[in-house]
Structure 1
Amino acid sequence: MAFMTRLSRLMRADLHAMLDRLEAPDLVLAQAVREMEQTLERDRRALARQERERARLGDQKAALESTLRQTAEALEDCLAAGQEDLARPVVRRRLETERRVGQLQQRLRELEVDCEARRQRLAEQESRLADLRARAALYQEMVEPEEEVYRETWPASSDAVRDADVEVALLQAKRQRGAAS
């Protein structure tokens, strides 16, 4: 059984090595950057939706608080006039409005916590994206100079020194040496 395990591990390693050679690191980095940008944009839109929802709920809360003030005044008027029959529906409406305000406040707190968590995630994602972009740029800089150095240090075959050129240069050197003596 140990032999089979070792053999399967060797096959997986060979397969992974072959896949590593087939992958183009610059393309993989570019794809990772694109995916992170898409995720970041999707999260930004979700945060904007949550903030719009929070603003809408804040407006509803303000309207309900205005209703509470009106019902308090109406209740005061009913009690001042001794009209308990008229005061009961006002009290009911006030209680319902107070419950609704409590629910809205709870939802607003939840949204605020969610928004803050999403803002933190966005900041982390933006940091990771900037880091990945820097790595991609560094990789690009590493790849491009290697290609240039390769072109500069390895002359093309047309620039190669031929045997005939060596012989001619040797004859010229002998002639100059003979002329100098």
Structure 2
Amino acid sequence: MFTGVEESYTVQESDNIILKRELDGLLRYLHKVRSEIATIGNPADEDHGFESMGDQLDAIVNATANATNTIMGAMEKNDDVTDALRAKIDDPEMLLLLDQLNKNSGDVFEACSFQDITGQRISKVVKSITYVEERVNSLMNFWGPDELDKIEVKAAEKTEDEALLNGPQLDGQGLSQDDIDALFD
């Protein structure tokens, strides 16, 4: 008669042990997640700041767009020079060389289309990063910035060379070319 009660108690006890173990594991995992979120929100190392990723990628898009525009502008000027030469040259061999220059110019224009595609892809990555950043910010608000500030965030150790690296800087940050030139005056 007591056998059923004892078995029930033993099953309930083992369920409690399993539940306690699972809750303990979940608690440890949540602590780890909270620590990781604190690291994202308050990086000990400025190079690992989550929020600057989008800015860095936007800077890449802008730099490649500017370089592409410069290349295409120079090629357009070369086309004008080629056209001017064509008007003054009658030699068939020279005209063939000018044709080759025009073909090369077309190849450069075609190759410059990489910038548009690259910009579109990077924009998708920026949107994904922004989405993750919004979710992380929600979690940070859930736990509260004061709680997250209590968590110690250790900077990753850097080699001597890594410690010297701090660029390229975003526009308006760091030294300007004028600042660097002034060092040599």
1:62 alignment counterpart: 70
TM-score (norm 2): 0.52
1:118 alignment counterpart: 125
For 1:2-41, what aligned pairs fall within 5 Å after superposition? 10=15, 13-20=19-26, 23=28, 27-28=31-32, 30-37=34-41, 41=49
For 1:83-102, what aligned pairs fall within 5 Å after superposition? 83-102=91-110
Letter matched to residue 73 of structure 2: E
CA RMSD of aligned residues (A): 3.8
1:127 alignment counterpart: 134
Paired with 1:118 and 1:91, the residues of 2 have a C-alpha distance of 41
Paired with 1:130 and 1:46, the residues of 2 have a C-alpha distance of 15
**Structure 1 vs Structure 2: percent identity of aligned residues?**
3
Q: CA deviation at 1:139?
A: 10
Larger radius of gyration: 1
Paired with 1:85 and 1:49, the residues of 2 have a C-alpha distance of 47
In terms of fraction of residues, the more helix-rich structure is: 1
Paired with 1:31 and 1:58, the residues of 2 have a C-alpha distance of 40
Q: Secondary structure at the match of 1:82?
A: coil
Aligned length: 130
More relative contact order in 1 or in 2 (CA 8 Å, sep 6+)? 2
Which runs of 5 or more structure 1 residues have no equivalent in the other structure? 1-5, 141-181
Structure 1 47/83 Cα, relative in aligned 2: closer, same or farther at 3 Å? Answer: farther
1:52 alignment counterpart: 60
TM-score (norm 1): 0.53
Letter matched to residue 104 of structure 2: E
